[in-house]
Amino acid sequence: MTFSRRRFLQLGLTASGALLVGMRAGDALGAAPMPPELLGDDLVQLTAFVMIERDNRVVIGARGCEIGQGVITALPMLIAEELDVDWSKVRVIQLPYGYEETDGKPGNRYGDQFAGGSTSIPTAWKDLREAGAAARWLLVQAAADAWSVKAHDLQTQSGHVIHADGRKLSYGALARTAAARQLPDTPIPTRDPATFRIVGKPTRVVDARSIVTGQNRYGIDEYLSDALVAVMLRCPHLDGSLESVDDKDARRIPGVKDIITIDGPKTGEVFDGPLAAGIAVLAENTWAAIQGRNALKPVWKTGPWTEESSTALSAKANTLLDEARNGIEVRRDGDLAASRKRARHTVSARYEVPFLAHATMEPPGALIELRNDGALLIASLQNPDGASRLISKLTGLPRNTIEIRLPRSGGGFGRRLANDFVAEAVLIAKQAGKPVKLMWLREDDLTHDHYRPFGVHAMSAVLDRRNRVAGWSHDCAATSRTYRAAGMQDDPLWKGCLEPDDFPAGLVDNLEKTFHPVTSGMPRGWWRAPLHTFHAFAVQSFIDEIAFEVRRDAVELRLEMLGAAREIPYRGHGGPVFDTGRMANVLKLCAEKIRWKDKRDDGRGIGIACHFTFGGYTAHAFEVSMDGDKLRIHRAICVVDVGRVINPLGLEAQIMGGTIDGISTALNLQITVRDGQVQQKNFPDYRLLRMADAPNKVEVHVVESTIDPVGGGEMGIASVAPALANAIFATTTVRIRKLPLMPELLRLL
């Protein structure tokens, strides 16, 4: 979706005199509902980023999908900074999805509302600052007219325009006349970051109080007065279907109103709707719908994947690697075969990573109302544009008649980038003829997900006579991320599993990366820091193995491979360059904080790892010990460089959360398959980290920087698993090459 600078900065005037920056007053369709505490305060519904009241209060709209990454705070901070107002006087509200059409072309009045790949901050760094600067420019021009002076003689401070002689006017007093002005055709300069008063200061999440007091409304909390609650029973077999269902007992449950069947995707077709065939029970309340579902007696057809199992997939992947035939070349530098002939040492190892579910605290779900003249969707989303297109496709409704509201989500991690649950709600509502609130249970969530791929990594390194890495090969046999994925059918099969420019590409003269696709019927999707959590465990664990084999310091080996500070071309997400100096800096600081060089005689082991993720540089270090069959994490350290930090408090929280998520995932989490069915049904089977097993503290160290910012939502997870595995080896001498760590550790001890 594209839009011109002028279109983005267009403005209008509300009936109450509030200044609206970002769109015309006539574009009120899809305006966000006003919070109750603002009703009756001479405010109108939000139709843009900024509203300024005559009493000088400021309301700023947050455009991003808030899934816990803090954009509801960080993005408005950018606008408030350029607007030059006191943050304490700002009230933030969540904007809806801003679809609009200009000259017949689709666009978004608010800009990019996608929440994935840690892109919210870098995409907002320029345009939201410009939106704030445009509002301030209009106010200054209005003051210049009022005083008959030159605008360049005026300054702004804390919501006021100030003349050199001491006169000042509040923004609220200037709002009406400011709104009547036109913006210039040339860009309005933004402020020098050296003058920032809001950006870079630790700022609490704007809705923190409502969250901790239980007042905040998530997608799962939303209702419409006449909506029926729908709960589905889905086919447990990959690509299975419904043969028949006995629903007589279900229909007798008090409160059950209807029972509807939904077709699943045809085998081999792109996943652009529901993931599975199912039966929806519609009822007056959730309890009745669940009881109705429990009373169903379905007969399922098994589908083509009845032989699929995790054991078979592992065997298949290892066979492909053993045979080393028909692999897809991802990258080839130098002459690896020749370097092997000259090698003093060759080190090889294989690492296995499992399927993973997203397991968001708030399961998927959607509240949908379909009318002849439009639709309303209220749901926790990461990809509202995709939801808009999907609803239009399934209903035939023009997209400009579809309203989408974006409540805070109880986690995302990539699960809500897919909109299969929205498709289910639409198909059910079409048959029901009434608004529908679709509720997923935890069992639905774990057994019908877009899983992170499964794979085996075969690593090999060639070392010269000085024990320096002279050659490197990385063969990956995995279930391709592109499998039946909408929008990825023209992508190479290795995308999402192996990146040609990731470490150590560009750092060793002789390099080979090869991909071997493994056939599987499991749906796949983006999982938090997807590519990087998939392969960082193998790459960073392998470096430690090399160091141990040739009796070298693991940190020094990494620094030697990184070499002199320089920028290397990087074509993947987070490019266009990889800065070896920034990576070396976070690694050295992390080693310093964990006291890497200290001699230890207390039975504890330390491990370290680093990784480049989506433009950010991160290193983790852990100090651990074993207490019987329990792993104790005594210290957890993360050093991160994401460029200029918008909200240090928010970034610290993101890195802490990512580290805890990484520990939880690395220690115990995996999705397994048997007879074409997912085996994990609920949290007893998918054991998230318990508080007793977590470190008491995650020490976060943020590198100060003036480089343009990148996001922080996914930087804190990729290097956790290898750092933990390396620490476990240091304390137990057991090298773990298969995730999750704890089952494998207990097997090997």
Q: Is residue 317 part of a domain?
A: no
What is the model's pLDDT at position 434?
96
Helix, strand or coil, per DSSP, at residue 213: coil
Q: Is the pLDDT of residue 61 over 90?
A: yes
Q: Is the pLDDT of residue 150 over 80?
A: yes
Helix, strand or coil, per DSSP, at residue 246: strand
Helix, strand or coil, per DSSP, at residue 701: strand
Strands 58-62 and 90-94 turn out to be parallel
Q: Is the pLDDT of residue 180 over 90?
A: no
H or E stretch covering 160 = strand 160-162
CA distance 736 to 456: 14
Q: What is the separation of C-alpha 268 from the centre of its chain, rounded to a whole number of angstroms? A: 27
What is the model's pLDDT at position 40?
55
Q: Is the pLDDT of residue 581 over 80?
A: yes
Buried b (16+ CB within 10 A) or exposed e, 501-537: bbbbbbbbebbbbbbbbbebbbbbbbbbbbbbbbbbb
CA distance 34 to 27: 16
Q: Is the pLDDT of residue 495 over 80?
A: yes
For residue 176, what pLDDT band results from cuts at 50, 70 and 90?
confident
Q: Is the pLDDT of residue 265 over 80?
A: yes
pLDDT single digits (tens) 699-738? 999 999 999 999 999 999 999 999 999 999 999 999 999 9
Return the residue matching tokens 């805070």.
Answer: 408
For residue 51, what pLDDT band results from cuts at 50, 70 and 90?
confident
**Percentage of the chain with pLDDT > 70?**
94
Where does residue 506 fall: left (phi above 0), alpha (psi -120 to 50 degrees), or beta otherwise? left
417 burial class (0-12, 13-18, 19+ CB within 10 angstroms)?
buried
Instruction: Tell me what the mean pLDDT of segment 262-279 comes to.
Output: 95
User: Which residue range(s) make up the domain with 110?
Assistant: 5-212
Q: Which residue among 162, 187, 212 closes a domain?
A: 212
Same domain assignment for residues 420 and 467: no
Same domain assignment for residues 232 and 202: no
CA distance 468 to 454: 31
Same domain assignment for residues 395 and 502: no
Note whether 574 and 649 are within 8 A (CB). Answer: no
Same domain assignment for residues 283 and 174: no
The reported pTM is: 0.93
Candidates 83, 88, 117; CA nearest to 412 is 117
Return the residue matching tokens 């200029």.
Answer: 644
Q: Is the pLDDT of residue 680 over 50?
A: yes
Where does residue 331 fall: left (phi above 0), alpha (psi -120 to 50 degrees), or beta otherwise? beta
Q: Which residue among 439, 462, 496 closes a domain?
A: 439
DSSP string, 320-341: HHHHT-SPEEEEEES-HHHHHH
Q: Is residue 67 part of a domain?
A: yes
Helices (H) and strands (E) in the chain, counts: 18, 32
Q: Is residue 318 part of a domain?
A: no
User: What count of other Cβ atoms lies within 10 Å of the Cβ of residue 197?
Assistant: 15
Q: Is the pLDDT of residue 44 over 70?
A: no
CA distance 73 to 203: 8
- Angle, CA 641 vertex, CA 670 and CA 501 arms, to 5°: 65
What is the model's pLDDT at position 46?
29
What is the model's pLDDT at position 47?
37
Q: Is residue 310 part of a domain?
A: no
What is the model's pLDDT at position 182?
84
Note whether 130 and 138 are within 8 A (CB). Answer: no
User: What count of other Cβ atoms lies within 10 Å of the Cβ of residue 625?
Assistant: 18
Same domain assignment for residues 428 and 497: no
Whole-Å CA distances, 100 to 79, 120, 127, 272, 512: 22, 20, 18, 23, 47
Instruction: Tell me what the mean pLDDT of segment 138-154 comes to.
Output: 94
User: What count of other Cβ atoms lies within 10 Å of the Cβ of residue 268?
Assistant: 10
Q: Is the pLDDT of residue 48 over 90?
A: no
pLDDT single digits (tens) 556-569? 999 999 999 999 99
Whole-Å CA distances, 610 to 262, 382, 413, 638, 725: 46, 28, 21, 9, 13
Q: Is the pLDDT of residue 8 over 70?
A: no
Same domain assignment for residues 642 and 530: yes
3-state secondary structure 600-664: CCCCCEEEEEEEEECCEEEEEEEEEEEECCEEEEEEEEEEEECCCCCCHHHHHHHHHHHHHHHHH
Q: Return the DSSP state at 501.
A: T
Same domain assignment for residues 271 and 344: no
For residue 39, what pLDDT band results from cuts at 50, 70 and 90?
low
Q: How many residues does the chain have?
A: 749
Same domain assignment for residues 158 and 246: no
Mean pLDDT of the chain: 93
102 versus 678: which is more confidently predicted? 678
Q: Is residue 322 part of a domain?
A: no
Q: Which residue among 439, 467, 490 closes a domain?
A: 439
Instruction: Tell me what the mean pLDDT of segment 56-78 comes to.
Output: 95
Strands 365-371 and 436-439 turn out to be antiparallel
Instruction: Tell me what the mean pLDDT of segment 249-276 comes to.
Output: 96
Candidates 666, 710, 450; CA nearest to 576 is 710
pLDDT single digits (tens) 316-344? 999 999 999 889 999 999 999 999 999 88
**How many domains does the chain fold into?**
3
Same domain assignment for residues 712 and 666: yes
Same domain assignment for residues 208 and 225: no
What is the model's pLDDT at position 41?
55
Q: Is the pLDDT of residue 636 over 80?
A: yes
Sheet bearing 58-62, strands edge to edge: 11-13, 19-21, 50-52, 58-62, 90-94
What is the model's pLDDT at position 36?
63
Kindly report the CATH number assigned to the domain that includes residue 377: 3.30.365.10
Q: Is residue 321 part of a domain?
A: no
pLDDT single digits (tens) 80-97? 999 999 999 999 999 999
Q: Is residue 444 part of a domain?
A: no
Same domain assignment for residues 172 and 299: no
Alpha helices in 84-166 (DSSP H): 120-147
Same domain assignment for residues 554 and 685: yes
Q: Is residue 422 part of a domain?
A: yes
307 burial class (0-12, 13-18, 19+ CB within 10 angstroms)?
exposed
What is the model's pLDDT at position 50?
87
